[in-house]
Amino acid sequence: MAHSSSLYPLVLSLILGFLACPLAWAQPEPDGPASARTAPLRVGVAGSEPFVIDRGTEVSGLSIEVWREASRTVPVQQGPPQVYPSAEAVIAAVERGEIDVAIGPLTITRARAERVAFTQPWMHAGIGIAARESLGLWSMLGSFFSRAFLVGVGVLLTVLFAVGALLWVAERHKNDNIPSQAIPGIGNSMWLAIVTMTTVGYGDIAPVTRSGRLIASVWMLASMVTASSLTAGIATVLTLTQLHVSSIRTPSDMSDQQVGVVRGTTSAGFVRRHGGIAVEFEDLTAAIKAAESGDVSAVAHDRPSLSFALRQRGTADLTLSDSAWEPLGYGFAFALGDARKRDIDVNLLGLHELHAIDNLAEEWL
C-alpha cells in the first residue's frame, strides 16, 4: 500500500504534463513566420498624382489600385493607410518598424534596397524634364549669334573681300573713286561689291576698265544666288525662334542651372550627377510653379507623374521632354525578412502576365 501511494503523485504529474504539451505547441512563435503572415499590415503611402491621390478622407491612385489587386488573395488584415510626405519618409518608416509596407511609386535603388525589401517592380519609368520655352527678343538675338549663322556671315565677308580685292587690282590706276592704296582702295571696292549684291546701285562708284566690268558682271550674277541664300538663312532663323523650344531639353543642358525637384525623391541625385543645382520643394506642384515663374530653369521628376501634373494644370509655359532618363522600377517596400513579401511578388507576376497592371496604367495615365 505504501508503494502504491508513492506512485500516485508521479502518475498524476505525468498526466498533467501530457495535457499541457498541446497547449504549448499551439502557441505561435512571437517573431516567427506564422506571426509574420497573420499579423495585421500597417500600411504607409507616399507619392504624387496619379499614383497617390490624398483627398483627406480617402486615399486613391494607381499605386493603391495595383496594391489592392496584388494583396487581394493575401489573408491579412490591413489598417487605414498612413500618408507620408515623401518616398524617403515612408521608406524610413518601414526601416524603423513604424509600418510594415510602403506603397507608392517608390523607385528601386541599391541604396534603398539595403534598407528595405522591395517587391517585384510593378512598373518601369524614367525621369523627365519640363522647362520653360525659349521665346522673346533675347532668344531671337541669341539665334543670330549661333555657330551656323556666324559661319555664314564669315563666308560672306570673305567673298566680299575677295571680290573687292579683285576690283581694286583692276581699277586702282584708272578709277578716281578707288584709291591706289590697298586698305582704302579695297574698302571702296568692297562697297561697290555690296551695293551690287543688294541691287541698290547708288552709282557713286562704278568700274571703268574692261577687267573691272568683267569682274563686276560675274559678281552680279553670283550675288543673285548669294543674296537669296542669305535671305533664306535669315528667314529660317526668324522662323525657328517662333517655335516652342525648351531651354533645357537633355540632362547635359542642366549644367550650372537651378532645377526644381521634389524632396525625398531620386531626381535630386539625377540633377546633381549632370552638373545641375537641385532646388528641393515639398511637392511637385510647388516645383512646377517655381519653373513657371522663372525661379528655377526646369523641373526634373518621374516622367509619368510630371506629364500628368502638366496636363492637369493645363500650362503652356513648360515643355516636357520627349525622352526619359535613368529608367528604374517602382516597387512596394517591406521590412527586411518579412515573409509576406513573397505572396505579393507572386501576385504581381500574375498581374503582369494578365496585363492587368497595363490596363490600370492606361486608365490612370
CA distance 295 to 156: 41
Q: What is the per-residue pLDDT across 44-69, written as a single tens digit (0 to 9) for each? A: 999 988 999 988 788 999 999 999 99
User: Under 8 Å CB-to-CB from 208, ≥6 apart: which residues?
Assistant: 171, 174, 175
Place 178 in a pLDDT band, splitting at 50, 70 and 90: confident
**pLDDT, tens digit, for every residue of 156-166?**
889 889 988 99
Q: Within its chain, how far is the Cα of 350 from the centroid?
A: 30
5 pLDDT more than 90: no
Structure confidence by residue, pLDDT tens digits, 107-163:
999 999 999 999 999 999 899 999 987 555 455 555 566 676 677 778 888 988 998
Q: What domains are defined for the chain?
A: 37-126+328-364 (3.40.190.10), 138-241 (1.10.287.70), 246-326 (3.40.190.10)
- Grid cell, residue 315, equals 500650362
pLDDT in tens, 350-363: 999 999 999 999 98
Q: Of the ranges 102-111, 203-212, 231-240, 341-350, which one carries the lowest mean pLDDT score?
A: 231-240
pLDDT tens digits, one per residue of 320-335:
988 899 888 999 999 9
Reported pTM: 0.58
